[in-house]
Amino acid sequence: MNISSTGLWQLLQNMNRNEKLFFKKKSAEAGHSKTPLYLKLFNAIAAQKKYNESILLEKLAPFITKKNLAFQKHYLHRQVCDCLIEYNNRDNVEQEIYRNIQLIRINQKKGLRNEALVLWEKTITRARKVELFSMIQLLKKEFEKMILFSSARVRYDDLHTLFRSNIMTYDEYAEMISLRDLYTEILMLKRKAHFDFDDDLKIEISQLLQKLDLRKQGLQSRSFWYRHYSRMCHATLYYLSHATDSSLALIQDAVKDWWEHHHFIQTDTAHYIELLYMVNYAGIMHGSFEYVEFVFNHPTNDRISDETQKAHFEAVKYLALNKVYNKTARYGEVAKLVENMKVKYIKWEPLLNAELNRSLCFSLGIACFVLDHYTESLQFIKRGITYFKDGTRQEQFIFAHLFLLLILYNMNNTKLFDAQYKSTYTYFYKKTRARGSTGQRKTYFFERTLMHCLNETFYLSSWKEKRKLFQQAVDELDLNRDSEVQQQTLNIFNFHGWLLSQVQRISYKEYVQKKYFKETNEKVSLVSF
């Protein structure tokens, strides 16, 4: 395996304290009388804040030279990778089952057939419980070998019954595999739908839904994974079609299923966190704020033990609760959440991908803005737009450029506002669409509306003139309400609501409180009636 000059350094920098201790312990157990050269190289590279090959050669001379450095790095990389695999698979059920399969083979070769049979029975029962279908096929192959090479007097009737006790037919298994492939395609569609939700994408989603409507048998299957993929395929497409009633009902069934089979949370955490993403998206779009809060605060989530997955869960939880508290005008809870998050985020940042880091920065920026902490809001938005660029979620960058202008508008600093207006103008009017493309970036109607409204009202002193321009901007956004890109941007922050707060001459916080209490009272009145 080839490794780049900085690849090994990056790997060592990303190892946590326990992993490094485990590696050193394994090296010590090898029984070396002196510290091995690869361990000296490990310590030297791990201590560097920035990879510097010349310093390494100077420090480890004469044992390591330019001629043998590549070999030593390669050897160290292999040792570290083997160690990390062992450390991170200590409680991995898949590794445990595969290890048992290897032991079954060894027992067979050594003539210890009774031991092989006992272990086979125990292992296939375990594999069926956690639905490791690929491992079950390997175990069935081992059972065939036992029959082929054992004495004719040995009876296998009971074990053969266990052999045939499948939780679903092979046709259902094939259908589940097809659904799993389809789910991957749907996840890719969901990423595309974050921006430019055009007619072609709508048609593609509609066609997939029509296909899936004929494939609902998996919802009632005995197999956990067949049920999971069936629900998630349908729920995600319903969400993308804005059919949140249908989407949320399936998501609620899926959450209940995961909680009833909570051992999967530890073995397949990534799938569970994706489900929680959907609780966040569909639950908030549906207005089921109490349910979203209930799910993210449920004690079953404590079963997430992996450090990286725990960081992802906590990040998604913060995004969901921040949106719930803001939409329900619970600004005391928002303030507590922000203070807690500012402490924890430093620890999580290295473990999260660029998109999630950016979403967290923007969410913190919005919360600080609503709490009138404009300087902190500016810092978080700037950080999100500057440090975490991965070419995805273009609607987030639209939001960020508009929101930076809004923050500086509220800070009432003419010099900073002018500079940001020029920057925002350049982004919307002069930035090319994408790397390698020609022509200017497409500018959307609502972008021009918001940018020009903020720029024109910033310099006005007459309240009547300001109010007129704010109302004009509100009317223009209302006329353009069917724009998918506008909807997605306003889902991140309610610019429309902020404009209305200016028309009513109240703070944005007061506007949200009045709107929420009015909607709540109307719901109560309807229920009473």
Q: Are 329 and 513 in contact (CB under 8 A)?
A: yes
Report the helix count and the strand count for the chain, using DSSP H and E. 27, 0
For the chain, what is the mean pLDDT? 86
Confidence of residue 391 (pLDDT cuts 50, 70, 90): low
Residue 432 has pLDDT above 50, yes or no: no
The pLDDT of 56-70, averaged and rounded, is 87
pLDDT of residue 150: 62
Which residues share a beta bridge with 163?
none
State the amino acid at position 261 in one-letter form. H
Cα 82 → chain centroid: 27
Cα 416 → chain centroid: 35
pLDDT of residue 488: 84
The pLDDT of 334-358, averaged and rounded, is 89
Task: Tell me the DSSP string of 151-204.
Answer: -TT---HHHHHHHH--SS-HHHHHHHHHHHHHHHHHHHHHHHTTS---HHHHHH
Terminal-residue alpha carbon distance, the chain: 71
Confidence of residue 241 (pLDDT cuts 50, 70, 90): confident
pTM of the entire predicted model:
0.79
The pLDDT of 121-132, averaged and rounded, is 88
pLDDT of residue 94: 87
pLDDT of residue 496: 94
pLDDT of residue 321: 96
For the chain, give every domain's residue range. Answer: 7-88, 93-166, 393-529
The C-alpha atoms of residue 437 and residue 76 are separated, in whole angstroms, by: 43
Residue 518 has pLDDT above 50, yes or no: yes
To the nearest 10°, the Cα dihedral for 135, 181, 196, 491? -50
Is pLDDT larger for residue 453 or for residue 308? 453
Residue 46 has pLDDT above 80, yes or no: yes
Is pLDDT larger for residue 219 or for residue 2? 219
**Least confidently predicted of 10-14, 51-55, 143-147, 453-457:** 143-147
Cα 226–Cα 231–Cα 234 angle in degrees, nearest 5 = 125
The pLDDT of 480-494, averaged and rounded, is 86
- Condensed to tens digits (0 to 9), the pLDDT of residues 75-125 reads 999 999 999 988 888 778 888 899 999 999 998 888 888 888 889 889 988
The C-alpha atoms of residue 304 and residue 315 are separated, in whole angstroms, by: 13
The C-alpha atoms of residue 312 and residue 351 are separated, in whole angstroms, by: 8
Residue 141 has pLDDT above 70, yes or no: yes
Residue 434 has pLDDT above 70, yes or no: no
Residue 267 has pLDDT above 90, yes or no: no
Confidence of residue 414 (pLDDT cuts 50, 70, 90): very high
The pLDDT of 374-399, averaged and rounded, is 82
The pLDDT of 504-515, averaged and rounded, is 92
Residue 404 has pLDDT above 90, yes or no: yes
Confidence of residue 282 (pLDDT cuts 50, 70, 90): very high
Confidence of residue 303 (pLDDT cuts 50, 70, 90): very high
Helix axes of 307-327 and 354-370: crossing angle, nearest 10 degrees: 30
Closest CA to 447 of 499, 485, 390, 393: 485
pLDDT of residue 438: 47
Radius of gyration (Cα) for the chain, nearest Å? Answer: 29
From residue 370, give the alpha-carbon distance in Å to each of 105, 334, 342, 406, 410: 64, 9, 16, 12, 11
Confidence of residue 212 (pLDDT cuts 50, 70, 90): confident
The pLDDT of 285-307, averaged and rounded, is 93
